[in-house]
Structure 1
Amino acid sequence: MFSWNDMITFVWAFFIVLPLTSFVHASGHTFFVVLFGGKPVLTMGRGRKLFSVGTFHVHSLYFVDASCQYTEIKNESRWKYAVIYAGGIIFNAISILIVNSLIHLDIWPKHLFFYQFVYFSVYFIFFALLPIEYGKDNPSDGKAVYTVLKYGKTIKEID
């Protein structure tokens, strides 16, 4: 049962672990945009901008979400866009493997932080793979991969 004693764990998960997981996901998209010659802008959150470091922007509601906007990539192809759209899923999956490996090798301790990080990463992967629309021109990663491979339609902002 959830009690007041769980509030520290909740705050930790909500304001630190979840945004970190979201950052890893958006970094996956960003990595592949750069790899394929595009110019990305990675944004954490919504609301008033708190600070920027190059093309990385952090907003006051940093824990809400993260997104990657980008310019055209070089030598466009459907498979490159598909990899960009799947980049968040790929990075979340790799982060799970890294965390679990480091724990298994006794390099990192078994800790609630890592459990929560892996839990949220699995959550991100699951919901990113669902081929659904979150709104006009805002498909899930799975829907974006499907749409670009089948119809060649691309999007320039990835959540």
Structure 2
Amino acid sequence: MNLSPAPATAAQTIINECDAKLERYRAALDAGADPAVVTGWIAQTQTERARAEAELDANAGNSPRRMSRAEISGLVTALGDIAAALRDADPADKAEVYRQLGLRFTYQPETQTVRASVDLSAHRGVMVCVRGATRTIAPPLMTIAKTLKLIQV
């Protein structure tokens, strides 16, 4: 099943608009905008971009495509900006960003460790199969967790 030109163009337009927004957000951060606010915009725009890419890939009937070096570099750069913004953000703003990402931290005072985990399936959306009747398939649970030892610096 091939993607007709109109939906393909619409999805690509959304991707291009998201890329332009991300560049503007980076410029806003460089200009001194509130990192917590800009981080929220970045996360929302990256989600919108990922949704458009998924729609483009799903409707094209292709397997997931490889990212270009430029796309990977852009993603790493954007994530670096997010890390810097979170480092300097108000603790309440950090907590909200972590909550929306599904990132959880659990402090273990006995061992002075922090367990960090994220539920990856929360960001994958719903998969639909259309062979015969349409049915919704729940994505499998995907969690990444790591326990980190705290040290005093």
Length-normalised TM-score, structure 2: 0.32
Bigger-Rg structure (1/2): 2
> Comparing both chains, which one has the higher relative contact order based on Cα–Cα distances under 8 Å and sequence gaps of 6 or more?
1
Length-normalised TM-score, structure 1: 0.31
